[in-house]
Each structure stands twice: as C-alpha cells, then as structure tokens.
Amino acid sequence: MGVYDKLSVFIASSIKDKFIGTTWHDGRGNERKVLDKLETNTAQGTLVRYLIGTGYNGEPADKDRNPEICKAIELEALIAREKRMWEANNKTRQQEEATREKEAREENVRNNIDGFDKLFSSMNAKKVLNTLTKNVMRNGKPIMLRDLIRQLVKEHWQIGSLSKQGRIMHKGDVFLTEKQLTKTGIDYAEFLINKE
C-alpha cells in the first residue's frame, strides 16, 4: 500500500478561515474569490489548500468555472501579486482613458471654427477645416491660420481690396493679402466680422 491509499480528502467549508470569501481582481480584471478550504490528511500531516474561483467577463467567481487550487503558503502571495497587477493595469487603463479624453477635447477645440464649416457641404467643410487648422508664420512664429484670423478680427482689422493684391485684411497702413491668408482665411474673417 502506497501513501496515496491512506489519503483522505474533505472540504472544510464549515471551518472558519480568514481567507474564505476573500475577493480581488486579477491582472485582466476578472473577479477572483477564495471559495473553500481543502484539507488532505497525508502520512506527513495535513496539507491545506484553497479552492479559488474566477469570474470572467464581469461574472461572479464560482466553483463551476475552472476552479484553481492553491497551497495555503502561496495564497497570500498570489492575492498580493494579482492585486498589484490589477492596480497597475487599472492605473494604466485610467491613464489611457484620460489621454483619449484629453485628445478628444483638444481635437474638438482644434476643429472649432465657430460654425463656419456649416456653410459648406461635408466634403468642402473638411477642406475648409484643413485649411484653417494649418500653421502659418506670423512674426517669425508658427500660428494656426484660424487663430491668426481670430486675433486680427479681435484687433479690428478690416477687409478691403487692392487692385493688384485682390482682397486684403488691413489695419491702417498694415495689410495681409489673400495670398498670405488664403481665400478661405479671408472668407472666415468676413464670417467672424459679420457675426459680431
């Protein structure tokens, strides 16, 4: 007779244990729970193990879903390791979500052209948006054309024309031509001036 013939296994769920009922999340966000305590009497003594259930896709952990058996001496380390993984992954997910939200807000701000795009078909509106969100140089510094036009309108620049230059924006003797601001830029300036 071998050692295994003398084994007797029983589930000791009626015995109070600090681990039974403990829940946490693994690194993938699945719920994990210590479901039961297993004790095996061997020739060398009592071997204590725990039955751990995993709930997938938001489901609660239970015995019917591939339960795992963990030695008692390894349980605390397993729980601590999986909690750290969950917290790190959760923090990463939160940072990624915050980055996506920030990028979406920045994109909305970037694409805001005061309703000017509503005057065009969707295809032309995209071209207008692309034109107005391109960077141009002003006083040696890059600035988005949309922001430059807004700044000029705010500073009370006017729209006029010169015979050789076509339409211009001017304030006193200083002027910017349609070649510098683009036809779309001058149209946008006119739209903003008429909105005031």
Tell whether the model's pLDDT for residue 170 goes beyond 80: yes
**How much is the mean pLDDT over the chain?**
84
* pLDDT band, residue 163 (cuts 50/70/90): confident
pTM score of the predicted model: 0.49
Mean pLDDT of 54-72: 80
Residues 53/63, Cβ–Cβ less than 8 Å: yes
Q: Are 89 and 83 in contact (CB under 8 A)?
A: no
**Rounded to an integer, what distance in angstroms lies between the CA atom of residue 186 and that of residue 21?**
69
What distances in angstroms separate CA 10 from CA 3, 62, 176, one per listed residue? Answer: 17, 19, 89
Reported as a single tens digit per residue, the pLDDT across 12-54 is 444 568 888 888 988 888 889 999 898 888 888 888 899 888 8
